[in-house]
């Protein structure tokens, strides 16, 4: 809004007066990201949501990128995902990624991302344009393929149905599992990311993306039967700055280990958060617990469940973790005989009290 734009202008003018040559790029970059977080819109517009840093860190740790691999974010936003991936490689493995790339449809947002990576002293290649219609990263006669593709695209984005997508570049090669409905582009984003990935895809979306029917269910069925789903994590509500809705992280893996083939891990992490006044957050412990469960890839009571493709079929291809993993406290049930015995005792006590009361009333008369 105009007020925020004026405040940002004043901040730029203020910082322009000082030299930051002696200040670490990490400090400068973190300060810049704090400003981005502070000015994140309070309401989601066209499904656009600012991704909290801890959600990004969780995605990156689950993907666990390796040395000399390429990373791509087709819904770049402020560039936070690529920065987190770079930091993960530098801090955890002391290596750098082979290539960082991203595409963004909004020119102002792209400028924010460029400044963000510049302040973090990170090199990357960015392109401006509508990813779903006109992907800019190309190789030969198709789109460029990257080792890892991570994104938080606009949720339930309107206006990208079959008629529109067919007008875009490489539509038949990218949307091989079918075209999504006009009122939600979630599965257009997923298919573009799958077409762009050599190994893993990680995406944050609205929970309905793994449970809705119609065209989306049909696309989901085909992707499930192609054994591309590896994990679905249900996140807590109120994690995002401009929407209170819960979300899911979906991990797709084109190179599943043999012991994971034909299986999908569902994690119900809806209770894994630290409560705040306006929004909830994921603590380091919450993140560690989710990542540990993903790596273990096994059933954990009230937390995770490994299902087969046949299980998914029986569930009508609904992969909502809450459908398979309940986190509700179990109610204690008592035997009917015990309840009847307790009722008799209560009745006997009632009679005794009534008799005493009658004696008192007679004495008063």
- Whether 305 is covered by a domain: the verdict is yes
| Domains: count for the chain | 1
45 or 135: whose pLDDT is higher? 135
| Residue 13 domain-assigned (yes or no) | no
The predicted model scores a pTM of: 0.82
Phi-psi region of 204 (alpha: psi -120 to 50; beta: other; left: phi over 0): beta
pLDDT digits (tens, 9 = 90+) for 295-353: 999 999 999 999 999 999 999 999 999 999 987 755 556 678 888 888 888 888 888 88
**Domain assignment of residue 263, given as a range:** 40-324
The rounded distance, in Å, linking the Cα atoms of 85 and 90 is 9
Residue 13 pLDDT exceeds 60: yes
Q: What is the pLDDT of residues 181-203, one digit of tens each?
A: 999 999 999 999 999 999 999 99
Determine which helix (DSSP H) or strand (DSSP E) holds 148, and give its type and residue range.
Answer: strand 146-151
- Banded model confidence at residue 78, pLDDT cuts 50, 70, 90: confident
Residue 46 is predicted with a pLDDT of 43
Residue 357 belongs to a domain: no
Report helix angle 25-38 to 107-119, nearest 10: 150
Is there a domain that residue 20 lies in?
Answer: no
Quickly count: other Cβ atoms within 10 Å of residue 255's Cβ.
9
Tokens of 42: 């309070």
Query: How many Å apart are CA 74 and CA 151, to the nearest integer?
Result: 7
What's the rounded Cα separation, in Å, for the pair 78 and 49? 11
Q: Is residue 126 part of a domain?
A: yes
Residue 200 domain-assigned (yes or no): yes
**CATH number assigned to the domain comprising residue 105:** 3.40.50.150
In this predicted structure, the answer to whether residue 61 has a pLDDT above a threshold of 50 is yes
Look at residue 229 and tell me if it is in a domain.
Answer: yes
Does 19 reside within a domain? no
Q: How far apart are CA 190 and CA 202, in angstroms?
A: 9
- Residue 15 · residue 7 · CB < 8 Å: no
Which whole number is the average pLDDT over 79-108? 91
Pull the structure tokens for residue 220.
């989901």
């Amino acid at each position: 809004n105009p007020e925020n734009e004026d405040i940002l202008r004043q901040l730029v003018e203020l910082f322009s007066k000082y030299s930051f040559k002696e200040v670490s790029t990490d400090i400068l970059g973190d300060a810049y990201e704090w400003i981005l977080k502070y000015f994140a819109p309070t309401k989601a517009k066209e499904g656009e949501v600012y991704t909290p840093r801890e959600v990004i860190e969780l995605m990156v740790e689950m993907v666990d990128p390796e040395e000399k691999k390429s990373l791509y974010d087709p819904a770049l936003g402020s560039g936070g995902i690529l920065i987190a991936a770079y930091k993960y490689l530098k801090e955890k493995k002391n290596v750098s990624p082979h290539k960082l790339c991203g595409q963004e449809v909004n020119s102002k947002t792209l400028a924010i991302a460029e400044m963000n990576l510049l302040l973090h002293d990170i090199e990357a290649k960015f392109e401006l344009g509508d990813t779903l219609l006109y992907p800019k990263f190309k190789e030969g006669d198709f789109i460029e393929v990257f080792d890892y593709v991570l994104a938080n695209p606009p949720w339930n984005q309107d206006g990208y149905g079959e008629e529109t997508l067919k007008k875009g570049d490489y539509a038949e090669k990218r949307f091989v599992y079918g075209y999504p409905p006009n009122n939600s582009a979630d599965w257009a984003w997923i298919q573009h990311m799958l077409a762009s990935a050599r190994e893993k895809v990680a995406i944050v979306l609205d929970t309905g993306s793994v449970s809705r029917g119609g065209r989306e269910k049909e696309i989901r069925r085909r992707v499930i039967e192609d054994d591309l789903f590896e994990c679905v994590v249900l996140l807590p509500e109120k994690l995002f700055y401009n929407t209170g809705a819960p979300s899911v992280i979906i991990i797709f893996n084109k190179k599943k280990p043999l012991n994971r083939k034909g299986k999908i891990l569902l994690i119900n992490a809806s209770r894994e958060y630290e409560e705040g006044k306006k929004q909830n957050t994921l603590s380091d412990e919450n993140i560690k617990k989710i990542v540990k469960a993903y790596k273990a890839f096994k059933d954990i009571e009230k937390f995770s469940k490994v299902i087969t493709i046949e299980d998914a079929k029986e569930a009508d291809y609904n992969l909502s973790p809450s459908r398979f993993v309940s986190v509700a406290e179990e109610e204690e049930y008592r035997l009917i005989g015990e309840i009847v015995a307790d009722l008799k005792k209560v009745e006997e006590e009632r009679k005794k009290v009534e008799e005493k009361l009658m004696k008192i009333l007679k004495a008063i008369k």
